[in-house]
């Protein structure tokens, strides 16, 4: 019965170690289990897939580090899709401390595809104010972003010379942890007919579904699960896809722990 006592009063560091391993091992070996692809993600993927090479895709980084585990994978997946299809990427954002995440993603993925700054992509950085910029860019991007985040005039990049307003943006992707998605739909979408895809945290996603139903947006990527589906469509499983088994297993593991604790508890109680 010593074993029983040990199970009941197990050092919590053993549990910590096990949880760590349950998450770490599936990640390390990149175990990928196929996930059912949901309709909104499929639509998003197909919309990008249908863009002719050389199209301009604007990506708005509207999330911050606390929601990065959910939002970063979908951002990376979208970037990969764009670069794979030789689309040009323009990154900007409305949250000051979200922009570094945009830069980290660009640096990583551009290297994978051998893309060059100023030729294949630019980072315009952060400007305060949501609606003013969203509306204003319908007229002229330079009113707000005459320079990129490093202060280089955007006209010094050949492809940006032809980009003036939403007419020159074939697709807008908003990766959002808050209400910015709604604003993009309202100001860029409805007013200027901009085509939009939304990527959002699992919590926000349900609020955005009505826009997909009404045809105001082209697709939704919701939460880590949505990102995993997108990665699967890309045939390039990464953080989200290889995170899925870890997510499932750890949940089952915690339930298993609770059951074990209770079995031990009952046997001991019966003995008394």
Partner 1 sequence: MMGTILSTWIAATLTIAILSFLYKDNPLYKFAEHLYVGISAAFWVVYVWAFDVIPMIWDRFLEYKAAGNWIEAGVLIIPAVLGLMMLTRWLGPKVGWISRWPIAFTVGIGAGLGVIASIQGYLIPQIRGTLLPLFAKSPGVMINNIIIFFGVITSILYFYFSKELKGVLRVGSRVGIIFIMVAFGASFGYTVMARISLLIGRMYFLIYDWIVPTLKLIGIM
Partner 2 sequence: MKRGVPLIITFVTGVLIIIAFFIPHKPFGNLEQRFLIWYSIVAGFTMLLGIDSLIKYHIRKIRFREKGWGYSIVTVTGIVITLIFGFYSWYAYHTPLALGSPFMWLYTYMIVPLQSTMFALLAFFIASAAYRAFRARTIEATLLLIAAALVMLGRVPLGEALRLKLPAIANWIMEVPQTAAKRGIFIGTYLGAVAMSIRVILGIERTYLST
Partner 3 sequence: MILLIFMLLPPSHLKVYDTPNDEGGSITIEWRLSPSETEREFRGYEIYRALTPQGPFEYVDFVMKGKNRYEDKGVKDNKPYYYKVVAVRDDERVESPVAGPGIASPQWFNTGRINVLIFTIIFGFFVIYYIKRAKRDKSLYIRKITGLDAIDDAVGRATEMGRPILFSFGLGALTDVVTIAALSILRRIARKAAEYEVRLIIPNYDPIVMAAAQETVKQAYTEAGRPDLYKENDIMFLTADQFGYAAGVDGIMIREKPGAIFFQGFFFAESLILAETGHSVGAIQIAGTTAITQLPFFIAACDYTMIGEEMYAASAYIDREPQLLGSIKGEDAAKLLIMIIIILTAVIGSIGFFIPQLSSIYEKIVSFFETS
- Determine which residue in the list 47, 48, 99, 196 makes contact with partner 2, applying CB under 8 A: 99
Closest CA to 94 of 119, 50, 125, 56: 125
Size of interface with partner 1, in residues (CB under 8 A): 22
Neighbours of 153 (CB within 10 A): 11
Q: Using an 8 Å Cβ cutoff, are 33 and 246 in contact?
A: no
Q: Sheet holding 171-176: strands in order across? A: 121-126, 88-93, 56-62, 171-176, 196-200, 219-222
The smaller minimum CB distance to partner 2, of residues 87 and 244, is found at: 244
How far is it, in rounded angstroms, from Cα 35 to Cα 48?
Answer: 21
Among the listed residues 20, 54, 153, 193, the single contact to partner 2 using CB under 8 A = 20
Of residues 79 through 108, those in contact with partner 1 by CB under 8 A are 107
Any residues with CB less than 8 A from the CB of 64 and at least 6 apart, and which?
A: 95, 97, 98, 101, 177
104-163 positions binding partner 2, by CB under 8 A: 104, 123, 125-126, 149-150
Find, among 192, 197, 95, 185, the residue nearest to 137 by Cα.
Answer: 192
Any contact of residue 52 with partner 3 (CB under 8 A)? Answer: no
Sketch the per residue contact string, 201 through 230, with partner 1: x for CB under 8 A, - otherwise.
Answer: -----------------------x------
Q: Distance (Å, rounded) from C-alpha 61 to C-alpha 176?
A: 7
Single out the residue of 13, 36, 116, 235 in contact with partner 1 (rule: CB under 8 A): 13
- 38 touching partner 2, by CB under 8 A: no
What residues line the site for partner 2 (CB under 8 A)?
10, 12, 15-16, 19-20, 23, 33, 35-36, 65-66, 68-69, 96-97, 99-100, 103-104, 123, 125-126, 149-150, 225, 244-245, 247-255, 257-258, 260-262, 265-266
What residues line the site for partner 1 (CB under 8 A)?
13, 16, 19-20, 23-24, 27-28, 68-70, 72, 107, 224, 239, 242-243, 246-247, 250-251, 254
């Amino acid at each position: 019965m010593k074993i029983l006592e040990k199970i009941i009063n197990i050092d919590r560091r053993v549990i910590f170690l096990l949880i760590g391993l349950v998450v770490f091992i599936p990640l390390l070996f990149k175990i990928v289990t196929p996930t059912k692809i949901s309709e909104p993600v499929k639509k998003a993927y197909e919309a990008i897939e249908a863009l002719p090479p050389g199209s301009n895709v604007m990506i708005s980084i509207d999330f911050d580090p606390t929601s990065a585990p959910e939002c970063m994978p979908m951002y990376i997946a979208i970037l990969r899709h764009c670069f794979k299809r030789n689309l040009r990427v323009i990154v900007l954002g409305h949250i000051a401390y979200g922009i570094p995440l945009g830069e980290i993603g660009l640096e990583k993925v551009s290297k994978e595809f051998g893309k060059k700054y100023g030729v294949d992509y630019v980072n315009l950085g952060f400007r305060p104010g949501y609606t003013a910029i969203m509306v204003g860019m319908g007229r002229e991007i330079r009113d707000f972003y005459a320079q990129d985040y490093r202060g280089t005039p955007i006209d010094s990049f050949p492809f940006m010379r032809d980009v003036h307003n939403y007419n020159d943006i074939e697709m807008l992707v908003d990766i959002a942890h808050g209400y910015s998605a709604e604003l993009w739909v309202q100001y860029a979408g409805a007013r200027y007919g901009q085509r939009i895809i939304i990527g959002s945290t699992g919590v926000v996603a349900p609020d955005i579904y009505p826009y997909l139903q009404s045809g105001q947006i082209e697709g939704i990527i919701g939460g880590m699960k949505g990102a995993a589906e997108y990665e699967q469509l890309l045939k390039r499983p990464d953080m989200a896809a290889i995170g899925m088994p870890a997510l499932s297993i750890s949940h089952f593991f915690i339930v298993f722990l609770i059951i074990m604790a209770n079995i031990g508890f009952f046997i001991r109680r019966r003995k008394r």
